[in-house]
Amino acid sequence: MNKFQLLFHHIFKFVWNAIFILSYPFLATFGLVFVGITMFFSWISRLLKSIRPSTGAEEFKELGGWETISAEADLIEGRLHKQILFGPNCYQFRRKDGIPSILDEHIFGKKIKVIKEGLIIEKWNSTDIKEIPDFDICLYNPDEDQLTKLTTIKCFDWHLSEKEENYVYFKWFDGIQGGEVKVSIA
């Protein structure tokens, strides 16, 4: 290195070290204050959670016993089959009256809608995280123990929007686009 480059190198090194030495206490203080504020709000959150009365809804349910899935459909009970992280749970269904049913062979979502013709339920085609959401919306006729596929919907957010004489309308929204499906139930 020639003398000019060496002089420039020493000046640049001095300026760089001065900036670092002068700014380090501010950066370290900011880091400690940020961590402290985060820990404080975390403590407040834990305190409020312990004070809040229990709602009965658990974040993570354990695989286990049979429970009523819907207050509207008291004929069906379900047992948790799989819990999808950041998603819905899937259930095994059975009839409460103990009669063997076609419901025993499939996995279902928690949505159950009661109409005059039977129960509209969400049958899962797969529980593999890479393949969901992929649901068949089915009509279950409990008198004949018959499960009829109405349509396939590939999103979690769907609902029965209206029912006409022999048709039902389902609305769905997948976060980007939505739509409506008209299905014959006759």
pLDDT digit string (tens) for the chain, length 186 residues: 788 888 889 999 999 999 989 899 998 999 999 999 999 999 998 888 888 776 554 454 555 678 877 777 778 888 888 777 767 788 888 888 888 888 888 888 888 888 888 888 888 877 776 767 778 888 888 888 888 888 887 777 777 888 888 888 888 777 777 788 888 876
Quote the domain boundaries for residue 141.
67-184
Residues 71 and 153 in one domain: yes
Contact between 91 and 69 under an 8 Å Cβ cutoff? The reply is yes
Distance CA 143, CA 124 (A): 22
- Domain contains 142: yes
pTM comes to 0.59
Q: What is the pLDDT of residue 48?
A: 87
Burial call 23-40: b when 16+ CB within 10 Å, e when fewer: eeeeeeeeeeeeeeeeee
Residues 87 and 175 in one domain: yes
Residues 15 and 93 in one domain: no
Residues 3 and 80 in one domain: no
- Domain contains 148: yes
Distance CA 42, CA 178 (A): 38
- Domain contains 14: yes
